[in-house]
């Protein structure tokens, strides 16, 4: 990613990270850990997010050191949204639009069932992607132009942020 998009940040989806953290947390402690994790995202500004993250780590280090280590290892990936204006945080820390798009592609390809060849599949998926692109360009914007311009004026926005869906919990636990 760094070669194609220099200066880009990697943002893990907070929902998928929470699932990875839950796998490393004792079942009885998960409600408490989940509340602590959500308190990080509920802060009013970037400095508050970082300070709350540190407080959460301190609280976890005493009782659940393995969970604290897991959280510390993911710090950069789950807090990459903080340089953006607060109005963009919801869009940056989740990958729901990509998941919806993937579901729509799956729905449309399931209707066809078996494609005669690869080009037929590419044509259908390309049409779905073009339709989604047109909708985002004309009907509704996922990211507000005003907020994007504001962030460019301030100069706080990284070049690009992508999101990751962790599908292998073994890899996530080793991070």
pLDDT at 170 over 70: no
Residue 91 near residue 84 (C-beta atoms within 8 A): no
Exposure letters 114-144 (e unless 16+ CB within 10 A, then b): eeeeeeeeeebeeeeeeeeeeeeeeeeeeee
- pLDDT, one tens digit per residue, over 19-46 is 999 999 999 999 999 999 999 999 999 9
Give the number of other Cβ atoms within 10 Å of residue 63's Cβ.
12
Averaging pLDDT over each range in 18-32, 83-97, 99-113, 149-163, which range is the top one? 18-32
Q: What is the mean pLDDT of residues 158-171?
A: 40
pLDDT at 66: 95
Rounded to an integer, what distance in angstroms lies between the CA atom of residue 159 and that of residue 132?
Answer: 23
Q: Does the pTM of the predicted model rise above 0.75? A: no
Question: In angstroms, how far is CA 6 from the centroid of its own chain?
Answer: 19
Q: Crossing angle of helices 14-24/30-41, nearest 10°?
A: 150
Residue 158 near residue 7 (C-beta atoms within 8 A): yes
């Amino acid at each position: 990613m760094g070669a194609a998009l220099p200066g880009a940040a990697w943002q893990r989806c907070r929902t998928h990270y929470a699932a990875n953290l839950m796998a490393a947390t004792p079942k009885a402690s998960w409600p408490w850990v989940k509340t602590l994790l959500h308190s990080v995202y509920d802060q009013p500004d970037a400095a508050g997010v970082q300070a709350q993250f540190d407080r959460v780590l301190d609280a976890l280090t005493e009782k659940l050191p393995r969970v604290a280590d897991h959280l510390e290892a993911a710090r950069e990936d789950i807090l990459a949204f903080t340089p953006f204006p607060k109005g963009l945080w919801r869009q940056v820390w989740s990958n729901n639009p990509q998941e919806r798009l993937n579901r729509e592609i799956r729905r449309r390809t399931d209707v066809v069932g078996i494609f005669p060849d690869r080009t037929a599949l590419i044509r259908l998926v390309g049409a779905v992607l073009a339709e989604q692109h047109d909708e985002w360009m004309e009907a509704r914007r996922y990211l507000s132009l005003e907020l994007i311009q504001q962030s460019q004026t301030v100069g706080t926005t990284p070049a690009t942020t992508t999101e990751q869906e962790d599908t292998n919990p073994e890899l996530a636990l080793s991070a």
